[in-house]
Amino acid sequence: MLRSGHSKVAPAFPRVLAALALVPLAMAQRGVTRENGRWVRTITGSAPATAQLRVNAHGPVTLEGGVSQNLSYVIKISVYARTEAEALRRLSQYAVQVEPQGRWTVLNAPGGADLATMALKAPRLSAAVIATSEGAVEAGAIEGTLEVNSRAGELTIGRVGGNCTLSTGGGEIKVGEIGGSLHCTTRAGAVTVKAVRSDAAIGTNGGDIAAGQVGGSVRAETGGGDIHVGTSGGTVNATSGGGKIVVDSAGGTVTVHNMAGPVQVGSAAGVRCESGSGGIRVSNISGPMRVSTSMGSILATLLSGRISESYLATGNGDITVWIPSNVGVTIQAQNNMADTLRRIISEFSEIPVRREGTQVIAQGSVNGGGPLVQIVGMGGTIFIKRQK
């Protein structure tokens, strides 16, 4: 009986063991999908989180603060592999690490040569730091400070309550509203900023810069591209290797260095501008002006009731100065192209034009005189006009 029973059961063992061996493999296969020629494994999870979060990633990162009681994450790891079995071997090596380090919660994404795309939802954050070896970063709704560093990838930042520091080895930077100061740099790409409550320092080796509203000072520098500053509550320092520079309004002095391209300042407490080539247009300047261009025309409108000593010069181009009826000023104009007296045209009888040797000179006081405005031109015409 015993021998007979054993002989009947024994053949079933291999089938049962084979069936059990297939279960772990089937479960692993359900976690792997094929997307755009890559094998993808999705890891989801959550962990208790503090108000300070540090993320070490190896791919694109999306972080949204203030939307979850805990830290929740969805991480997709993708690999190139010839077969699913090979992909499973490689993907099984990766694990997500979340651990407390003092006041910080630190999340370490799987490393290696393969790409890991991360989406995070976090509670209210007083500080967040994101570092990734490669990929775009998108972050927003951060109550406190934010620091982002990507070796290569686009940065898109929404609302940040505190100071914000952004750096990418190459890619466009888009910034929403920053409640503190902003410091951002990219080696290549445009930078667009909506609003910054305090100071802003923006740099790119090549690309346009646009800053809408800045409560403090602005420093903007591009190796080649346009710069546009809407409003600044303080000084503006703008430098371009070649492009248009526009400052609509500044509460402090505007300092511009432009290798090649036009410059326009709508209003400021003063202007210092040097341009290799390109026209310069300044208006509503309540402080001193020192404006020069090697090649290009200059148009300056003196601010009604407020003017300081100024200097305007061009190596090749016209200079036009508009003087309001209530502005007292002393003019000294000199044009080194003396082929005709009409190299200086004055609408004021108080500023007569005469020739002295190889120069055409115009000097005089308007509305009782005032701060000195020196105008020097060559190869063009100087216009001294009455603003009605």
Q: Which of 249, 201, 194 is nearest to 221 (CA)?
A: 201
Sign of torsion over alpha carbons 21, 23, 24, 28: positive
User: Domain spans of the chain?
Assistant: 320-388
Per-residue pLDDT tens digits of the chain, which is 388 residues long:
333 333 333 343 333 333 323 322 222 233 688 888 888 888 899 999 999 999 999 999 999 999 999 999 999 888 888 888 888 888 887 888 999 999 999 999 877 657 889 999 999 999 999 999 989 999 999 999 999 999 999 999 999 999 999 999 999 999 999 999 999 999 999 999 999 999 999 999 999 999 999 999 999 999 999 999 999 999 999 999 999 999 999 999 999 999 999 999 999 999 999 999 999 999 999 889 999 999 999 999 988 666 789 999 999 999 999 998 888 999 999 999 778 889 999 999 999 999 988 899 999 999 899 999 999 999 899 999 998 7
User: CB–CB of 148/127 below 8 Å?
Assistant: no
Q: Which of 322, 326, 331, 336 is nearest to 383 (CA)?
A: 322
